[in-house]
Amino acid sequence: MKLKVMFAAMLAFSTASATATFAQQQQPELPAPSPAATVKQRVGLTDVTVEYSSPAVNGRKIFGELVPYNEMWRTGANMATKVTFSRDAMVAGKAVPAGTYALFTIPTESEWTVILNKKAQASGTTGYDEKEDQARFTTKPTTIPKRERMTFLFADTTDTTTSLDLEWDTLKLSIPIQVDTTVQAMANIDQALAAAWRPHASSARYLAENNGDLAKALTYIDKSIAIDENWFNCWIKADILSKTGKNKDAYAWAKKSYDLGLKADNFFWKDRVAKAMEDWKKSK
């Protein structure tokens, strides 16, 4: 009797599993009513990316009915539309730090309120909190030739500005975006130049530590020091000089390295430099 009960249970489990597997296999891949879409634009040095789901008109009256006036809209289908800025930007004159934001809108017949909200993973308008708004402004839509599927696109892009346009049915909404490319570019230049001492120092160190051309190593390290004198490249020069038998000069550069290192945050060879100074002072 127990065997019959056990067999019946196993048969029921196998049948259920087979039915579930069969059902899964019978699900064909079909077009989504509101397919996912992504559009991306580089403005100078800033990437602006929009991720959204794109519904179709499909014979319906859109604005004022499917998308009611005076109510918050997720500005697309499914999850709220997301806008990501790789660097700080200005949106309609409002400061928007680098990051990802949910894009909400409140349409009316004459103008729309546009909202960038810091709660980026919003499921529609559920859980919307006005306190999380990063930017909020109003803009007037314009009329365009009919567009069946809701689309975001970028227009009139320059090195510092672009227009993020929402087009659907016969309506276009333009969102002005501005970035300070000149400031960003200068920051990149300053950063690159500030680090330009490193390749010369690395090359000099390699030659010194691998029985290379020490005269060439000195040329490289002098170029490094000319760009940015710091404890590390001064120490490399001291080490090179010691390898050429110039311990007096090596001591002087090691002393300079030590003094600079005491003012630095990462003087990780402090003991090594101090020991070398002691040895070279005795033998100079």
Strand ranges across the sheet with 161-178: 94-96, 89-91, 161-178, 142-155
- Give the CA distances from residue 138 to residues 28, 92, 110, 119, 283, in Å, rounded to whole numbers and listed in that order: 43, 9, 10, 20, 77
Residues 9-34 pLDDT 10s: 554 545 555 445 545 567 888 888 88
Cα separation, 240 vs 243, in Å, equals: 5
Cα separation, 205 vs 141, in Å, equals: 63
| pTM flag (> 0.85) | no
Query: Which residue ranges form the domains of the chain, and what is each CATH number?
Result: 36-179 (no CATH), 195-283 (1.25.40)
Name the DSSP letter for residue 88: -
Cα separation, 83 vs 128, in Å, equals: 16
Burial class (CB in 10 A: 0-12, 13-18, 19+), 49: middle
Cα separation, 267 vs 230, in Å, equals: 10
Cα separation, 109 vs 260, in Å, equals: 67
Residues 186-245 pLDDT 10s: 999 988 888 899 999 999 999 999 999 999 999 999 999 999 999 999 999 999 999 999
User: Which of 114-118, 119-123, 274-278 has the weakest average pLDDT?
Assistant: 119-123
- Give the CA distances from residue 61 to residues 56, 75, 152, 177, in Å, rounded to whole numbers and listed in that order: 11, 16, 20, 30
